[in-house]
Amino acid sequence: MADEAAALNYKLSDIDIFSNSWGPSDNGQSFAPLPSVVNAAFKEGVEKVKTLNHVWANLKQNSK
């Protein structure tokens, strides 16, 4: 999880939009909260750079 946290705060002052299309496999029906280290990285990014945007792909992996 530390790698994910480091990636979320990589070059905060140089990047305005992070496009994140990675994550664990899922069944499209359940939700797991973020690990505390990743949540802390989001908080740090928001506090340091007010215009920072994180974008995630929303894919249902078990669709037919």
pLDDT in tens, 14-62: 877 777 666 666 676 777 777 888 888 878 877 776 666 666 666 555 5
CA neighbor of 46 nearest in space, from 2, 12, 10:
12
Give a yes or no: residue 64 inside a domain.
Answer: no
Give a yes or no: residue 3 inside a domain.
Answer: yes
More confident residue, 42 or 64: 42
Give a yes or no: residue 61 inside a domain.
Answer: no
| Predicted local confidence at residue 62, as pLDDT | 56
Contact 48, 15 (CB under 8 A): no
Domain count, the chain: 1
Give a yes or no: residue 21 inside a domain.
Answer: no
CB neighbour class for 41 (10 Å; exposed up to 12, middle 13-18, buried from 19): buried
Per the structure, the complete domain to which residue 52 belongs is given by 1-15+34-56
* Range list of β-strands (E), 1-64: 17-20, 53-56
